[in-house]
Structure 1
Amino acid sequence: MREVARRVFASEFNDASHTFKESDDERAPAYQLLPTGEKANRVFFVGTLTEKEDIGEDNEYWRGRIVDPTGTFFVYAGQYQPEAASTLRDLDPPAYVAVVGKPRTYETDDGNVNVSVRPESITVVDAATRDRWVVETAERTVERVAAFEDEGNEYARMAADRYDADPDRYREVAVEALRGMDEDGDADATDTDGQAEPTP
């Protein structure tokens, strides 16, 4: 069984610096601990690809910068993610994309933890798909925050121990994302086919 891909905004994802396993088996899945009290082995997000760059030396290794209403996701795809790497190679930013992938953390020399995504798939989508993802992700975020104080919520207890963040902050971010989407609704430029043009 593949793990469920969690919907999460960039602002929360980038704060999720703690990873863990639930068994000592070396093949056991690794999970990212979301500050709102959820474990994520895979994530699902939709945003605007604003930049891409081949940063590989001997082989292609693509870095993509994908923006949602709350912040920026970074995705990295190389020879072990051939489909995602091929999509990044062929895409011309800006473009709306949906990404499913696995969280990755990397500790820098100064002790900071950078969070990124190793994409399993990158799919070009339209503005309506992006808007629907924002609504659904806001709902999931608010639900996680509402369940945070439940004593039986082991991942919330873990998040409370690991992070210094007030989960209400992520609820406020979710509400702001919805509010911003409402404000943008009338402002989207349309092309000759009436399709909304992605804006960074």
Structure 2
Amino acid sequence: MSQSAPTREVARRVFATEFNDAGFTFKESDDERAPVYALLPTGESANRVFFVGTLTEKEDVGDDSEYWRGRIVDPTGTFFVYAGQYQPEAASAIRDLEPPAYVAVVGKPRTYETDDGTIRVSVRPESITEVDAAVRDRWVAETAERTIERVAAFDDEGNEYARMAREEYDLDPETYKAAALSALEGLDGGDELADGDAASADTPAGN
């Protein structure tokens, strides 16, 4: 009897400010094919993530073949996505998009260590789709809700991922709740791209 194909992991909704702090990765089994998870500081595992933001820059940084880097900002910070020959659909999408544009991205977290020991987190996209302001706003609202729920459950007995987050990170989950609430407040700002203020669209506070 053949084994059924593994089911896809749920794509977690997460804001950039939390995602970029999720530098610890782990597996839940010793199988070399076991999925790799990023540990979100609010106490959740993420093998895949889903986010919506504004593609503000794109660049082909490949040497011998196309390798696209995209800079995508949400109300809290910046995601970087990298797509090459092994992500042809996502690479094609970045190539064809003209910044600034709202995009929805599903992908896998990737970490790497810089020469000075800093852990950087990026996304290897499975799909990149151009969307409108309504989709972006709905994602912000839903992601804020999920973030606040994770923070509320952080101290629950038996929350294994929260226990791991306390051990691996010296970070206060309330920081991400505050960022989520701030993002919600920013929804009153309307559609920046349609308003012609594309340069500042979704620009994170402090950037």
Band the TM-score falls in, shorter-chain normalisation: over 0.9
Candidates 66, 90, 105, aligned match of 2:72? 66
| 1:118-149 Cα shifts (integer Å, max 9, x gaps) | 00000000000000000000000000000000
Tell me the TM-score normalized by structure 2.
0.91
What 5-or-longer segments of structure 2 have no aligned partner?
A: 1-6, 203-207
Matches within 5 A, 1:129-168: 129-168=135-174
Where in structure 2 are the equivalents of 1:57-136 lying within 5 Å? 57-136=63-142
Partner of 1:169: 175
Q: Which amino acid aligns with 1:93?
A: P
When residues 189 and 58 of structure 1 are mapped into structure 2, their CA distance, relative to the original with a 3 A threshold, is: closer
Q: CA RMSD in A?
A: 1.4
Secondary structure of the 1:45 match is strand
In the alignment, the residues of structure 1 paired with residue 172 and residue 62 of structure 2 have an alpha-carbon distance, to the nearest angstrom, of: 38
Moved over 4 A (4+): none
Shift of the 188–118 alpha-carbon distance from structure 1 to 2, 3 Å rule, reads closer
Question: How far apart are 1:188 and its partner, in Å?
Answer: 3.8
Tell me the CA shift for residue 190 of structure 1.
3.5
Alignment correspondent of 1:21:
27
Q: Distance in 2 between matches of 1:76 and 1:129?
A: 23
Unaligned runs of 5+ in 1: none
Instruction: Give the aligned length.
Output: 194
